[in-house]
Amino acid sequence: GAGVSQSPRYKVAKRGQDVALRCDPISGHVSLFWYQQALGQGPEFLTYFQNEAQLDKSGLPSDRFFAERPEGSVSTLKIQRTQQEDSAVYLCASSLDGAGGNYNEQFFGPGTRLTVL
Amino acid sequence: RKEVEQDPGPFNVPEGATVAFNCTYSNSASQSFFWYRQDCRKEPKLLMSVYSSGNEDGRFTAQLNRASQYISLLIRDSKLSDSATYLCVVNTGFQKLVFGTGTRLLVSP
């Protein structure tokens, strides 16, 4: 079956531009996560949705970062006024159900590699 | 101090060798523990969960020591295809995963 898909796979932006990154989770998965992975580092948590509700956005590095999942399926991560330090791979993951705090395996998409010049 | 700490390596080993990775975590309230594998320019994929009783999956053995807040992964009879970055991952509750920086393994012929 189809896994998590992300688009675009690569994005080059000039400093100061706004970008929007899209994530299509596995069909039927309730929970959706965004992570940021800088070169040579492990992924770092940005934000988490359960259906359309954004339950945790503690990892968003600044108010230039905004995520939404209006219909509880596709999600968009938007970065306004991009800076060079935003250059990273942005990974999206989904899991079946996050209810009750029980852990369900998170399946990752291929990521969007963002380069800010 | 990072929440999850790992030796970044690289670990260079010959085929057939046994190699062990370790990681420590700082949040004593952490609830579940994992090893993920990440190939170059690919997404992380779950390798195995880690339990206090220890668990084994073929050539891979994982162990958790809650008292020491220490997690290990042992790979026996290394294959060329085991070359990858191994990420130590902790679930601190409510789905959020915390990743270590990863340990890079290079298996050579």
- For residue B1, pLDDT beyond 90: no
Q: Largest alpha-carbon pair distance within chain B? A: 43
Q: Which residues of chain A have pLDDT under 70?
A: 1, 98-103
DSSP string, B31-66: -EEEEEEE-TTS--EEEEEE-TT-EEETTEEEEEET
Cross-strand partners of A54:
A49
* Predicted pLDDT at A57: 94
**What are the tens digits of pLDDT across the range B15-34?**
999 999 999 999 988 889 99
**B94: nearest CB among A41, A101, A108:** A101
* Predicted pLDDT at B95: 76
B102 to chain A, minimum CA–CA distance in Å?
6
Which residues of chain B neighbour A95 with C-beta distances below 8 Å? 95
Report the distance separating Cα B53 and Cα B12, nearest Å. 29
* Predicted pLDDT at A87: 98
- For residue B41, pLDDT beyond 80: yes
Comparing A17 with B2, which gets the higher pLDDT? Answer: A17
* Predicted pLDDT at B92: 82
The pair of structure tokens assigned to B55 is 């668990």
**What are the tens digits of pLDDT across the range B44-56?**
999 999 988 889 9
Residue whose C-alpha is closest to residue A116's, from A80, A92, A77: A80
Mean pLDDT rounded to a whole number for chain B:
93
B41 to chain A, minimum CA–CA distance in Å?
8
Report the distance separating Cα B15 and Cα B106, nearest Å. 10
Please give the share of chain B, as a percent, with pLDDT higher than 90. Answer: 83
